[in-house]
Amino acid sequence: MAIGALGSQIAQAQTAAASINVYSARHYPTDEALYADFTKSTGIKVNRVDSDDAGILSRLSAEGSASPADVILLVDAARLWRAEVQGLFLPVKSKLLEEAIPENLRAKRSDNGGIAWFGLSTRARVIVYDKLKVQKSDVDAYEKLADPKFKGKLCIRSGSHPYNLSLFGAMTEHIGPQQTEVWLKGLVNNMARNPAGGDTDQIKGVASGECAVAVTNTYYLARLMRSTNAADKALIEKVGVVFPNQSSWGTHLNIAGGAIAKNSKNQGNALKFLEYLASASAQNHFANGNNEWPAAKGMSFDNPALKAMSGGNFKSEVLPVSAVGMNQIKVQQMLDRVGFR
Ligand code: FE
């Protein structure tokens, strides 16, 4: 009896230990299946705290060394970089992750030899246009969005949103800060309306005729393409997609990524989870569940919308995403100067 009670206490303790706390800014309901698969194959329970990226970063800072967080999932290189410099991550050494995730999609190696964060999936930032009013060749490069012929015709979300901070940070790498600021001023001059809403709202702006060109991440587009809703189908019919800069540096790619929390009390299981997210089944889930491209090398996936919009393959830029994240302060200053809200 005593042994049985002890046994069940041990079992309880083991159950309690076999769990990780994941702070996630991935705002995608399809991720539920991703966590369930991990628990099924490892027995490690995933307790998820969902918040937006800013909320997660301030919560981690406030909790300090008492934080129960084990794994942090953030969306966008700009935010991953911000959390890294705030010292919120524990750089890790993982042969598996270093072999799976290309070097340009992860943090630079830190002083202790570890890596602070890893990109786990990618999304492209593309241009959409009104098929009746605009020729594809008029918008096949980001630079062309500043052409005065699009005056009053551009829809784009807030310049300060990390998706745009990263795109503009990449432009800064490609054409230099002076040219980027001139370009940003051109975008402001071409706006059809003050920036408002998310990427889906910009696609809808093109479909409704409020604007003729817009900028969006690919997964929002794929979501509409795969929708069974008649209104979404009608909307997407009106919109053309172009993967910009195929004849120069390639289309801007951004990432969603993960890291181990600086004060994780559960580092072994946290690393298991991060490594699981780079596995073939998890990578396939990113592609099929949330319409992102796998970040890990050599993954095959079957997502008809992603294939249809890109023609199966496209040239993407090869900048280190960490450099793009680093540019965001400079970019924010440019946005303030040119009045890009
Ligand atoms: Fe998003």
The closest of 165, 263, 155 to 207, measured between CA atoms, is: 155
- Distance from residue 22's CA to the centre of ligand 1 (Å): 19
- Distance from residue 199's CA to the centre of ligand 1 (Å): 8
pLDDT at 2: 44
Residues 146 and 97 in one domain: no
Residue 274, domain member (yes or no): yes
CATH number at residue 221: 3.40.190.10
Mean pLDDT (whole number) for 178-185:
98
For residue 139, pLDDT beyond 60: yes
pLDDT at 30: 84
Residues 331 and 185 in one domain: yes
Residues 237 and 323 in one domain: yes
DSSP letter for each residue of 137-154: GGGSSGGGGG-GGGTT-E
Residues 85 and 133 in one domain: no
Q: Do 296 and 258 contact (CB within 8 A), yes or no?
A: no
Q: Poorest-confidence range of 5-19, 295-309, 326-340? A: 5-19
Mean pLDDT (whole number) for 147-163:
97
Residues 53 and 132 in one domain: no
Q: pLDDT, tens digit, for every residue of 52-87? A: 989 999 999 999 999 999 999 999 888 999 999 999
Residue 307, domain member (yes or no): no
Provide the percentage of residues in the chain whose pLDDT is more than 90.
Answer: 84
- Distance from residue 224's CA to the centre of ligand 1 (Å): 14
Collapsing DSSP to helix, strand or coil, 261 comes out as: strand
190 vs 6, more confident: 190
- Distance from residue 75's CA to the centre of ligand 1 (Å): 7
- Distance from residue 95's CA to the centre of ligand 1 (Å): 30
For residue 97, pLDDT beyond 80: yes
- With cut-offs at 50, 70 and 90, classify the pLDDT of residue 17: low
Mean pLDDT (whole number) for 19-44:
92
- With cut-offs at 50, 70 and 90, classify the pLDDT of residue 325: confident
pLDDT at 45: 96
- With cut-offs at 50, 70 and 90, classify the pLDDT of residue 312: confident
> What single letter denotes the amino acid at residue 198?
G
- Distance from residue 200's CA to the centre of ligand 1 (Å): 9
- Write out the residue range of the structural domain in which residue 132 sits: 124-251+319-338
Q: Which residues contact residue 207 at a Cβ distance below 8 angstroms, ignoring those fewer than 6 apart? A: 130, 234, 235, 236, 238, 239
Q: Do 275 and 94 contact (CB within 8 A), yes or no?
A: yes
- Distance from residue 198's CA to the centre of ligand 1 (Å): 8
pLDDT at 28: 82
Query: 5 burial class (0-12, 13-18, 19+ CB within 10 angstroms)?
Result: exposed
The closest of 140, 131, 134 to 153, measured between CA atoms, is: 134
Residue 309, domain member (yes or no): no
Residue 308, domain member (yes or no): no
Q: Poorest-confidence range of 122-126, 197-201, 326-330? A: 326-330
pLDDT at 78: 86
Residues 226 and 326 in one domain: yes
For residue 249, pLDDT beyond 90: yes
For residue 5, pLDDT beyond 80: no
Residues 147 and 262 in one domain: no
- Distance from residue 169's CA to the centre of ligand 1 (Å): 18
- Distance from residue 305's CA to the centre of ligand 1 (Å): 17
- Distance from residue 3's CA to the centre of ligand 1 (Å): 52
| Cα gap 202→21, rounded to integer Å | 35
- Distance from residue 152's CA to the centre of ligand 1 (Å): 25
pLDDT at 300: 86
Residues 75 and 107 in one domain: yes
Spell out where 66-117 has E strands: 71-75
- Distance from residue 10's CA to the centre of ligand 1 (Å): 42
Residue 162, domain member (yes or no): yes
- Distance from residue 248's CA to the centre of ligand 1 (Å): 26
- Distance from residue 40's CA to the centre of ligand 1 (Å): 28
- Distance from residue 180's CA to the centre of ligand 1 (Å): 24
Q: pLDDT, tens digit, for every residue of 185-216? A: 999 999 999 999 999 999 999 999 999 999 99
Mean pLDDT (whole number) for 122-134:
97
pLDDT at 337: 98
- Distance from residue 79's CA to the centre of ligand 1 (Å): 13
Mean pLDDT (whole number) for 249-261:
96
Residues 247 and 259 in one domain: no
> What total of structural domains would you count in the chain?
2
For residue 173, pLDDT beyond 70: yes
Residues 180 and 243 in one domain: yes
Residue 47, domain member (yes or no): yes
Residues 257 and 247 in one domain: no
Residues 70 and 132 in one domain: no
Cα dist. 219→117, 241, 255, 256 in Å? 22, 12, 12, 12
For residue 235, pLDDT beyond 50: yes
Tell whether pTM > 0.85.
yes
Residue 275, domain member (yes or no): yes
Residue 303, domain member (yes or no): no
